[in-house]
Amino acid sequence: MSERRTDRDVEHTLTAWMAHVAPARPPSRLLEATFAQTVRATQLRRYPWSRTVGVGTEGRSAGVSRAVVLVIVVAAVVVAAAIGLVAGGRPSIGPLVPGPSPSPTVAPTAAASVTPSLPAAVTVAAETAIPVAGAIGMVGDGPSLWVMAPGRIDRIDTGTSTVTGSVAIGDPNDMNNGVAVNGDGVWATDWTTQELIRVNPTTLKVAARIPAGLAPKGILANADGVWVADTHGGTVLPIDVTRNRAGAGIKVAELGTSGPNWLGSGGGSIWVDVPNNSTIARIDGRTNKVTATIEVTNPFVPCGGFAAAIDAVWVSECSSGTHLARIDPASNRMVAVIDIRGFGDPILINGKPWIAVDTGTPDGGFLARIDPATNSIDRVVVPDTPFGGGNIVVAAGSAWLLDGYHGQVLRLPLAAFGG
């Protein structure tokens, strides 16, 4: 269930909503009616919005009043967001150490837009369904799956398909976002406390709470290290796992909301999407320097997960969008945008991207495979049990599907995903 994770700040939600419901310019009759009512209201010491609070009843049609109220409410919300009154305002902490400046931006080119038809779905029987209340995100390390829920992380044994332990990582009301695992531990971000939480996978105890900028969100953890996206700080923070502290931030955006969101790795690089400047930054993980800043083309808003192959980097859109973008790592350009009919983070299975597509309904989820040769959806799989979408992890010879709508993890045979 994609809405359980905060993949962008409020202004992008508002922008998408306003683009959907608001006209390019108000109708002339609305402007005329608003002007007339405003002039008249001045003389009566009443205002066009008085009806919404029960003051004044004469001289206005219900249709005009609703339209005027809509314009005023939208304007008020936008102003509130701009001054930090809406969620996503910047909390107060000490100054950040500035990191290297981004490299010159790679100018966008027109990316091919594809709306592929969907092949007939193949129904696959789930081998098991494991209840996990409030599931938000999931990662795997082979023997175990680690499922993050509000205030905790549960461990699933992939051999027995059962929950074998749980660790409390904070207040269930905190905003947990990213979860990752590597040989140094299980990692989770807490937006509310501005911390990266390190869990010992053997003892199931919190080993460290590491201050991680203004608004820690996405995490990348692999054999080379750990990095955290500081969404409001505009940086990616490398983590010193020996000292349990964040290093100097790698600058990919200015300070402000809707900065770097999610991280991925592949092709010798770290990739991070930045919705507030519509870019994807490429970072050398050895030097922690930005090697390319890739501008994306509208209407794609980059703030989803990554899957990186040798010849393609796949990145999903915000959960209000329905697109998957393809980046050519050789030219550092966006070369295709594919409409997948919903939201989901990509994962490579047998070298091809798969997405557990969340269409916004509890039982409308499906699994889609992209053919890299044609950028089309060439296989669709649906579980034989209600499924809303989530994310996929491959472990122990199976595909595991997180379904936050139904609070469960489904285990499917990997053979169902084809060669």
Question: What does the pLDDT look like over 269-303, one tens digit per residue?
Answer: 999 999 999 999 999 999 999 999 999 987 899 99
| CATH value of 105-417 in 2.60.120.10, 3.30.70.1520, 2.130.10.10, 3.90.230.10 | 2.130.10.10
What does the pLDDT average to over 219-244? Answer: 97
Q: Looking at the chain, which residues constitute the CATH 2.130.10.10 domain(s)?
A: 105-417
Contact criterion met (CB below 8 Å) for 275 and 318: yes
Conformational region of residue 234, where left means phi above 0, alpha means psi within -120 to 50, and beta covers everything else: left
Whole-model pTM: value is 0.77
Average pLDDT, the chain: 81
Q: Which has more pLDDT, 344 or 21? A: 344
Question: What does the pLDDT look like over 47-81, one tens digit per residue?
Answer: 232 222 232 322 323 343 444 334 344 444 333 33
Cα dihedral 142→148→149→151 (10° resolution):
130
Strand partners of residue 379: 369
Q: Which two tokens stand for residue 333?
A: 């350009």
pLDDT band at 262 (very low <50, low <70, confident <90, very high): very high
Q: Indicate whether 30 pLDDT > 70.
A: no
Question: What does the pLDDT look like over 174-206, one tens digit per residue?
Answer: 999 999 999 999 999 999 999 999 999 999 999
Question: What does the pLDDT look like over 334-349, one tens digit per residue?
Answer: 999 999 999 999 999 9
- Report pLDDT for 38: 37
Q: Which two tokens stand for residue 182?
A: 């590597």
Q: Indicate whether 8 pLDDT > 60.
A: no
Lowest mean per-residue pLDDT among 8-12, 90-94, 269-273: 90-94
User: H or E element: which one contains 21?
Assistant: helix 10-21
